[in-house]
Amino acid sequence: MQYWLMKSEPGELSIDDLANLPGKKIEWFGVRNYQARNFMRDEMKKGDLALFWHSSCKEPGIYGIVKIATSPHPDSTQFVVTSHYYDPKSNIENPRWWCVDVELLQKTCYISIGTLRNHPELGDLQVLQKGNRLSVTKVSAKHWQILNKLLNG
């Protein structure tokens, strides 16, 4: 079992958007970065857990916990000509962009990035590193335990 952190802009897909979907489940569409894609395509397993993070907003931080609900599959939006995420260089036979579906397990209390920075034991969490831009990152089991206490304690 691997733990992850996945970023979403609230204007794109908010935690409440997700909570209001049928089955609270959605394709994690729109990732157009190779490193993040590789994590999803090559390393994510159905049943893995991930922190749901809001970025590019007034209050960045953790808002929930999601479960990886499917095996990796091609991102459907890359083939939709009218989509913002359409990629003319991709094709059905050899899709360039891959993703998974996620299901909301728990809408948690909000933990701000500032709060996280106040916990020295979380210092090397990737999302807190300077210059971090990856929208999908790994979370160690140790960090996950600490975060779970913060989220539920």
Partner DNA sequence: GCCAACGTTGGC
Indicate whether 86 belongs to the interface with DNA (CB under 7 A). Answer: no
From the list 34, 43, 106, 142, which residue makes contact with DNA (rule: CB under 7 A)? 34
Q: Which residues contact 86 (CB under 8 A, 6 or more apart)?
A: 77, 78, 79, 80
Is the CA virtual torsion 30, 36, 42, 45 positive or negative?
Answer: negative
For residue 71, count CB atoms less than 10 angstroms from its CB and return exposed for 0-12, middle for 13-18, buried for 19 or more: exposed
C-beta of residue 72 within 8 angstroms of C-beta of residue 87: no
Whole-angstrom distance, CA of residue 52 vs CA of residue 62: 6
Indicate whether 11 belongs to the interface with DNA (CB under 7 A). Answer: no
Indicate whether 38 belongs to the interface with DNA (CB under 7 A). Answer: no
From the list 134, 146, 150, 151, which residue makes contact with DNA (rule: CB under 7 A)? 134
Nearer to DNA, 32 or 73 (CB): 32
Indicate whether 130 belongs to the interface with DNA (CB under 7 A). Answer: yes
Nearest to 31 by CA among 73, 71, 81, 91: 73
Indicate whether 57 belongs to the interface with DNA (CB under 7 A). Answer: yes
Indicate whether 84 belongs to the interface with DNA (CB under 7 A). Answer: no
Tokens of 29: 């569409």
Indicate whether 2 belongs to the interface with DNA (CB under 7 A). Answer: no
From the list 3, 6, 7, 78, which residue makes contact with DNA (rule: CB under 7 A)? 7
Indicate whether 35 belongs to the interface with DNA (CB under 7 A). Answer: yes
Indicate whether 88 belongs to the interface with DNA (CB under 7 A). Answer: no
**Which residues sit at the interface with DNA, rule CB under 7 A?**
7, 9, 32-35, 55-57, 60, 113-114, 117, 130-135
